[in-house]
Amino acid sequence: MQIEPYALCYLDAVIRLSLRAWTPVFDSIQKAMDADVYRSFYPDNWRVSQQKAVEDVCAAADTNVWVAVDAGSTVGFVVVKLHSEDSMGEIYMIAVDPDFQGHGIGGALIEFALDWMKEAGMSVAMVETGGDPGHAPARHTYEKAGFGLWPVARYFKKL
């Protein structure tokens, strides 16, 4: 497995693997969230908004994107944003193809991103994820990489 800079030729594969990887996450979110609030967030199906989010982040000038490639297949990706005013790097988006999860690819992408942040002069790294059961594997991966939890409570109410 190699980690390479993102290029437009990877976009379709990145979208496909991210939607596959995030299916159990969004199933979990839907079960955990009030149905009306969930529909407000994802009125056209979560896949539509997530595909747009991936497309946007891959094209954004303020992000750095890398892909994990194994035997010619795109198996994961990571997106980093730098917040220079806070000397903080953020793992903004990350996904590993479900067929390749559990093989250390997520950890390798995180390690690569952390090294890159440090070389860019950042002194703190941040990653955000959900507290629902569908995000448990992500939380485990982040904790294994040395991230510490900052407890936050975020509430939503449909108006």
pLDDT in tens, 101-157: 999 999 999 999 999 999 999 999 999 998 889 899 999 999 999 999 998 888 888
**Confidence band (pLDDT; 50, 70, 90) for 1?**
very high
How large is the C-alpha radius of gyration of the chain? 16
Integer angstrom CA distances of residue 46 from 28, 40, 66, 155: 12, 11, 24, 20
Report the run of H or E that residue 80 belongs to, with start and end: strand 73-83
pLDDT digits over 82-95, tens only? 999 999 999 999 99
Residue 74 identity: T
Please tell me the number of Cα atoms within 13 Å of 49 on its side-chain side: 11
Residue 63 identity: T
Distance of alpha carbon 68 from the chain centroid:
13
Q: Write down the pLDDT at residue 44.
A: 87
Average pLDDT value for the chain = 95
Q: Write down the pLDDT at residue 52.
A: 96
The model's pTM is: 0.92
Q: Write down the pLDDT at residue 158.
A: 87
**Structural domains of the chain sorted by starting position, each given as residue range(s) with its CATH number in brackets:** 2-144 (3.40.630.30)
